[in-house]
A and B are shown apart, each in its own frame.
Chain A
Amino acid sequence: NAGVMQNPRHLVRRRGQEARLRCSPMKGHSHVYWYRQLPEEGLKFMVYLQKENIIDESGMPKERFSAEFPKEGPSILRIQQVVRGDSAAYFCASSPGTGTMNTEAFFGQGTRLTVV
Chain B
Amino acid sequence: SQQGEEDPQALSIQEGENATMNCSYKTSINNLQWYRQNSGRGLVHLILIRSNEREKHSGRLRVTLDTSKKSSSLLITASRAADTASYFCATDTGRRALTFGSGTRLQVQP
Residues of A bordering B, CB below 8 Å: 4, 33, 35, 41-45, 48, 55-56, 59, 91, 93, 99-110, 112
Residues facing A in B87-110 (CB within 8 A) are 88, 90, 92, 94-103
| Interchain CB contact under 8 A, A56 and B96 | yes
Binds A, one of B14-22, B42-50, B59-67, B68-76: B42-50
Residues of B in contact (CB 8 Å), total 27
Q: List 9 A-B contacts (CB under 8 A).
A: A4-B42, A55-B96, A91-B43, A100-B30, A102-B30, A102-B31, A107-B44, A109-B42, A112-B40
CA of A93 to CA of B22, assembled, Å:
24
CA of A41 to CA of B2, assembled, Å:
11
Does B33 sit within 8 A of A, measured CB to CB? yes
CA of A110 to CA of B43, assembled, Å:
9
- Which chain A residues border B44 with CB–CB below 8 Å? 107
| Smallest CB gap from A3: residue in B | B42
- Which chain B residues border A45 with CB–CB below 8 Å? 97-100
| Interchain CB contact under 8 A, B92 and A42 | no
